[in-house]
Amino acid sequence: MTINESMKRLIKQEKFDDFDRLLTKRKWDEVPFFKKFSTIEFMHGMSVLEKSEVLVKFSVLHLDKILDYVNLKKRWDVVILVSILDFDNIKIRGDEPVCPNFWISSNIEDELGKFGLVYGRSEDAMLVKQWLQAANLSSNHMVLTQPNDESDCEFRRVYVARHDSRNLDILLRNGQKYIDAL
């Protein structure tokens, strides 16, 4: 089975193809792209960096499908990003890939007004940008971080958003407009 087929099976297994379920009204939530490392055993011959790159690529590709559905259903109350965490898995331990999630909120005004993301320039953000460029996804997506993205590794995340996503201005610090740093 190819990686593409295996990733499609993973998406179906995790029920990410049920967009209505995924877009249920909620406070912000991070829904893991995979729940257990055993569900990505099909990647067993790859390095940790290769696994991380593939997981980020496919989570961003699926983000696009979710956002297309959001636009089709006119769900202007929803913000969805890919959030990526556990970079220490590849930098320090080297034993597990990063963990992409779908970061979802349908309570934009109350929750996101002070979120304040900035354009990612950290080492982790640059790595994600490289992966997006390799997958020809960098022209339609932006890489974002918290203003102090070198903080505690438990809370440190890199976010990927699509340029045309609604409500991104609420997430950006001081009304920044996206200008790719690369």
Percent with pLDDT over 70 in the chain: 85
Residue with tokens 């997981």: 55
pLDDT of 109 higher than 90: no
Length of the chain: 182
Structure confidence at residue 152 (pLDDT): 54
Whole-number Å distance between alpha carbons of 28 and 169 = 17
Supply the DSSP symbol for 42. G
Whole-number Å distance between alpha carbons of 119 and 180 = 8
122: its two tokens? 């950290």
Residue with tokens 């769900």: 75
pLDDT of 139 higher than 90: yes
Report the chain's C-alpha Rg in angstroms.
16
Average pLDDT over every residue of 9-22: 88
Structure confidence at residue 180 (pLDDT): 42
DSSP H or E stretch at residue 158: strand 158-162
Whole-number Å distance between alpha carbons of 69 and 89 = 32
90 and 72 Cβ atoms separated by less than 8 Å: no
